[in-house]
Amino acid sequence: MPPRWPRKPTRRDPEFRKLDDRYTYAAHIAVFLCSGSGLVFFQQLYRADWPWLVPLLGWWALGLGIHSFWIFFVARYPVEAGFGELTPGAHENPTAAETDPSRAS
């Protein structure tokens, strides 16, 4: 079950973007492990000669290594200009100035 987010989730929120990137990374790892182990299992089961299997898994693992390096060492999540944190429930009761454009200053 995903964690409860204290405000409306958006990619402009640096904390949410970081969490989303890590979830995406975990999904890529899971797909790699399931696919790789399944291919190796069927290669062994059928005693198949698949010369493409090791290079495929090697390049895929290299791609995941680059993804790991990017996620854990390179990626920065600065607060964008104009991003204001909302307190829980603040977006549910807009003021009159926010709902009526003629009242805006």
SS3 43: helix
| Residue type at 31 in one-letter notation | V
Count other C-beta atoms under 10 Å from residue 13's C-beta.
Answer: 20
What is the structure's pLDDT at 33?
A: 98
Tokens of 27: 């999904």
What is the structure's pLDDT at 73?
A: 94
Q: Tell me which residues of the chain have a pLDDT lower than 50.
A: none
CA distances to 29, 61, 65, 68, 71 from 26, in Å: 5, 13, 12, 10, 11
What is the structure's pLDDT at 9?
A: 83
Tokens of 20: 């989303």
Determine the Cα–Cα distance for residues 27 and 104; give it in Å rounded to an integer: 45
